A = this chain, B = another copy of it.
Amino acid sequence: MHVLIVLAHPDNESFNSQLTVAARSALEAAGHVVTISDLYAAKFDPVEDGRHYGDRLNTQQFVALAEQRHASKNGTLPRDVQLEIEKLEAADLVILQFPLWWHGPPAVLKGWFDRVFVSGHLYNSKMRYETGYFRGKRAIASVTTGAPASAFGPGARGGEMELMLWPIHYSLHYLGFSILAPEYHFEVSGHGYSYSEESENQKRLQANIEDWSKRVAHLDYERTLTFSGWADWAEDGSSKSPN
């Protein structure tokens, strides 16, 4: 496999970084080719805006999707966006590695979706969902949390992980990706894993890294999640199934 790891964490010694390094090692040891998009290191600008576009369709008003289509067609997409698209096109598997911040991805990753998933080149009204541009490719979220596992679940204090990751999964499904069950790394504090090497917490997190390393090399064989698709919807987008 060609694997793209998209890393969204501001600290290059973070547990997220350690997971990324470990995943790369495990994947390479298994003969896979790995590319990393470290969004913080690249100073990726997540704010979709007219200033990114050199050749504008409309310089009076910035209509994001219209400018994306115009730039897709004319080969004038912003350089950083074009680079990310090329990495996605080359990948068989995409790993999103990020901490859960305010029940979702950090802004730098949310904006990677906003800017890179361009209308026109990557989707249109027919080329979506199971007919999406990236069909045949796989994607997985690998997520760290500060709260312990016990705080997540239906009705639990931290909320339900499946629900919090739904926007990410469904956006990837929209582009045609097959989605793998996420990898969770709970109770990751900013410290702990790096300062107290002998602690129980350190051991737990080290085991977590090892588990992820074992899993990651075989993601091409895992079963993927099920989402609704074209056969489930009426022409107007409503569900054909009674609720």
**A113 contacts B117, C-beta separation under 8 Å:** no
**A10 contacts B48, C-beta separation under 8 Å:** yes
A147: contacting residue among B104, B153, B237, CB under 8 A? B237
CA distance A168 to B151 in the complex (A): 18
If the complex has contacts A63-B191, A155-B243, A238-B156, are A46 and B170 also in contact, measured as CB distance less than 8 A? Answer: no
For residue A218, CB closer than 8 A to chain B, the reply is no
CA distance A159 to B233 in the complex (A): 11
**B107 contacts A114, C-beta separation under 8 Å:** yes
Query: Which residues of B have CB within 8 Å of A32?
Result: none
For residue A66, CB closer than 8 A to chain B, the reply is yes
- Chain copies in the assembled complex: 2
CA distance A48 to B48 in the complex (A): 17
A239: contacting residue among B49, B154, B190, CB under 8 A? B154
Query: Which residues of B have CB within 8 Å of A181?
Result: none
A222 to chain B minimum Cβ distance, whole angstroms, is 24
For residue A182, CB closer than 8 A to chain B, the reply is no
**B238 contacts A150, C-beta separation under 8 Å:** yes
**B228 contacts A155, C-beta separation under 8 Å:** yes
**A11 contacts B47, C-beta separation under 8 Å:** no
**A111 contacts B46, C-beta separation under 8 Å:** yes
For residue A13, CB closer than 8 A to chain B, the reply is yes
A151: contacting residue among B48, B156, B238, CB under 8 A? B238
**A190 contacts B66, C-beta separation under 8 Å:** yes
A6 to chain B minimum Cβ distance, whole angstroms, is 14
If the complex has contacts A150-B238, A238-B153, are A104 and B167 also in contact, measured as CB distance less than 8 A? Answer: yes
The 4 closest A-B pairs by CB, nearest first: A151-B237, A107-B111, A63-B190, A155-B239
Known A-B contacts: A13-B61, A107-B108. Give 19 more (CB < 8 A). Answer: A11-B62, A11-B63, A40-B47, A46-B47, A46-B107, A46-B111, A47-B108, A102-B110, A102-B114, A104-B110, A105-B110, A107-B114, A108-B111, A150-B234, A150-B236, A151-B238, A152-B237, A156-B239, A163-B166
